[in-house]
């Protein structure tokens, strides 16, 4: 299991130091949640902040755009140092165009599905995607409880990806920790975003190692 600590749970006043701390703790990716206060009822940070913390780690920056018009900002986030850009199927931007724009920068593209969005929403785009992110909470805030009823969606995606012989990762985001990661792994998740479970731990490195065992 790849583990991507969510910077949403970090101390924003020390974000660079928090990235270094997670890097040293053995994180596989850094997960950066960008929220516009419109698509979701919360505001976080944008491309300039990501650009400033980019030199703090060589680990892949997994940038999750929870914004209404991702297509307008792909260039900005690519220039800021994103290695992976995921955006929502429910956003206002054309999905195929947004994927093309991301891939045009030579970086990986992912499509995100909110809890009420079916797995089938990603099927027409799977051949052009590098990953599908299944939200296991309603997007917008950290610290929410894991929605186990999203696991059938993960299994449906995994079956379709396997059936078509594609190389597409499945990522899960929301409420992931020691007590929930086994369910995600069993369903076929390849990458888990972990926020509170890692950042609030006394020993983040130990937590990350334990989660990676799945």
| Higher-pLDDT residue of 142, 110 | 110
Q: What is the mean pLDDT of the chain?
A: 97
Q: Which residue among the candidates 28, 62, 130, 173 is catalytic per the annotation?
A: 173
Give tens-digit pLDDT for 9-65. 999 999 999 999 999 999 999 999 999 999 999 999 999 999 999 999 999 999 999
What is the domain extent for residue 178?
2-212
Does position 140 have pLDDT exceeding 90, yes or no?
no
Region 66-91: mean pLDDT is: 98
Give tens-digit pLDDT for 142-189. 778 899 999 999 999 999 999 999 999 999 999 999 999 999 999 999
Does position 141 have pLDDT exceeding 80, yes or no?
no
pLDDT for residue 9: 94
**CATH code, 71:** 3.20.20.70
Catalytic residue status for 75? no
Q: What is the dihedral of CA 23, 167, 187, 175, to 10 degrees?
A: 30
Catalytic residue status for 33? yes
pLDDT for residue 143: 73
Provide the 3-class DSSP secondary structure of residue 209: helix
pLDDT for residue 157: 98
Q: What's the whole-model pTM score?
A: 0.96
Q: Which residue among the candidates 33, 58, 75, 83 is catalytic per the annotation?
A: 33
Cβ(91)–Cβ(68) below 8 Å = yes
- The string over 123-148, giving b where at least 16 C-beta atoms fall within 10 Å of a residue's C-beta and e elsewhere, is eebeebbbbbbbbbbebbebebebbe
- The string over 172-194, giving b where at least 16 C-beta atoms fall within 10 Å of a residue's C-beta and e elsewhere, is bbbbbbeebbebbbebbbbbbbb
Region 106-116: mean pLDDT is: 98
Per the structure, the count of domains in the chain is 1
């Amino acid at each position: 299991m790849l583990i991507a600590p969510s910077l949403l749970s970090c101390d924003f006043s020390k974000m660079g130091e928090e990235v270094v701390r997670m890097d040293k703790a053995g994180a596989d990716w850094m997960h950066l949640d960008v929220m516009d206060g419109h698509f979701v009822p919360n505001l976080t940070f944008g491309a300039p902040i990501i650009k400033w913390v980019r030199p703090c780690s060589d680990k892949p920056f997994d940038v999750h755009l929870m914004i209404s018009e991702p297509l307008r900002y792909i260039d900005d986030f690519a220039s800021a140092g994103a290695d992976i850009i995921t955006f929502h199927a429910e956003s206002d931007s054309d999905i195929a165009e947004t994927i093309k724009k991301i891939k045009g920068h030579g970086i990986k593209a992912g499509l995100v599905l909110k809890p009420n969005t079916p797995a089938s929403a990603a099927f027409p785009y799977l051949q052009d995607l590098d990953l599908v992110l299944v939200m296991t909470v309603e997007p917008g805030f950290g610290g929410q409880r894991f929605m186990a009823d999203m696991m059938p969606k993960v299994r449906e995606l995994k079956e379709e990806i396997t059936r078509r012989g594609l190389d597409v990762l499945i990522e899960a985001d929301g409420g992931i920790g020691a007590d929930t990661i086994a369910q995600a792994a069993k369903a076929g998740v390849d990458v888990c975003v972990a926020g509170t479970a890692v950042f609030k731990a006394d020993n983040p490195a130990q937590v990350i190692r334990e989660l990676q065992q799945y």
